[in-house]
Structure 1
Amino acid sequence: MAPFGLTNFDSRTYGRFDERGTQIFSRFDADPSVFGIEGNLRGDRYFGGSNELFGRASDSAVIDLVQQTIVGGGIINVTGGTGIFDNATGLITFTQEDRLTPGSPDGPINF
């Protein structure tokens, strides 16, 4: 069960992928100027029940097609929320280690 009922996640970021042999380097950011393009700041929404948390992410990951893994991390700048997160601010730092599962009926990434 997800803490505080935050069972859903909607991410709206810009991204860039760079293939290097059997690895794909990816970078994501809510700010388009990071990639030298014009556009609007975007953000993330974590939600479920009566609580929502809003933020802007900046993160990166390496997708290894041979090892079938995704390893990365980043920062989410918390910009507000609803319910118990009303007027929330702060930074969330995170790391991730996921496994690719090609052909899975649940999708290619297994957390």
Structure 2
Amino acid sequence: MAQPNPQDDFAKLSADLATLRGDVAKLTETLTALARSEGSAAADAITGRIRSGAARAEAAASGLAEEGYAALQEARTRAQALSGDLGATIERNPYGSVLAALGVGFLFGLLSRGK
């Protein structure tokens, strides 16, 4: 049997460690590149979703604004029609309109009076 030589064993161990260090360095580079690639892809996906959500929110807000404007126009038209109808009624029956206004004023006075 041959005697183990500590210097040869140490040299082999040093060579193995150097190889291991090189492998770890390559692995680190590969993982870093992979992380950058995946991070970029994830950032792109998130950016796309944010843009899509913003576009949907903008479309919804635009639709609501259009609906609100249409409702305002309709309310304005109805108010003008009601005003015209009220004016015509007052012109046809001025005494009855004055008496109705007095009655409404009297009721408001009674309701607002404290006990």
**Larger RCO: 1 or 2 (CA < 8 Å, sep 6+):** 1
Instruction: Give the alignment's TM-score, normalised by structure 2.
Output: 0.14
When you count helix as a share of all residues, which structure comes out higher? 2
Select the structure of larger CA radius of gyration. Answer: 2
When you count strand as a share of all residues, which structure comes out higher? 1
